[in-house]
Amino acid sequence: MVQRTFSIIKPDAVNRNLIGEITARLEKSGLSVIASKMLHLTTEQAAGFYAEHEGKPFYETLITNMTAGSIIVQVLEGEDAVAKNREVMGTTDPEKAAPGTIRKDFAVSMQKNSVHGSDSPESAAREIAYFFNENEIYPR
């Protein structure tokens, strides 16, 4: 089923000039970038996006890291896009991520793990709407 998902290239990756390499891996997996922009999140924007994690031990560091530099937000479209993106990203902890995944190859730590991807179609819809208007999305 053709689906949409939402992706963030995080500040740790943008700061190391990995935008192109990460996007190439997403595209090579069969996903198409149908929306893309660069942002520098405010604390309020980051807190709204990650509201479900408020109160968790890693929350404060997460907000600090996500506001430490620019990010790229993208909408990806393709067959089973949510699962495919998660497969290409690898698991949250880069040390446990499978060989050849983005996080295995580029992430620095659990907190600086280079990318975010939606964990379900429902999260994808919410996350896409958080950053994009429908008229900023360009399906093939």
Binding site for ligand CMP (CB under 6 A): 53, 58, 62, 92, 110-111, 113, 116
For ligand CMP, the closer CB: 10 or 23: 10
Q: Is residue 96 a known part of a binding site?
A: no
- The dihedral of CA 33, 35, 37, 42: what is its sign? negative
Report the residue number, 39 or 138, with the smaller CB distance to ligand CMP: 39
- Smallest gap from Cβ 60 to ligand CMP, in A, equals 11
Residue 53 or 138: the one with the smaller Cβ distance to ligand CMP is 53
Catalytic residue among 107, 115, 116, 118: 116
Q: Is 67 annotated as a binding residue?
A: no
Inter-helix orientation angle 81-89/19-28, to 10°: 130
Q: How far apart are CA 9 and CA 70, in angstroms?
A: 9
Q: What are the backbone angles phi and psi of residue 32, rounded to the nearest 5°?
A: -110, 135
For residue 37, say whether it is annotated as part of any ligand binding site: no
Active site residue 116: yes
103 is in an annotated binding site: yes
- Distance between CA 15 and CA 108 in Å, rounded? 12
- H helices within 39-137, ranges in order? 43-49, 59-66, 81-89, 102-106, 121-131
Residues designated as active site: 116
Q: Extract the annotated binding site for ATP.
A: 10, 58, 86, 92, 103, 113
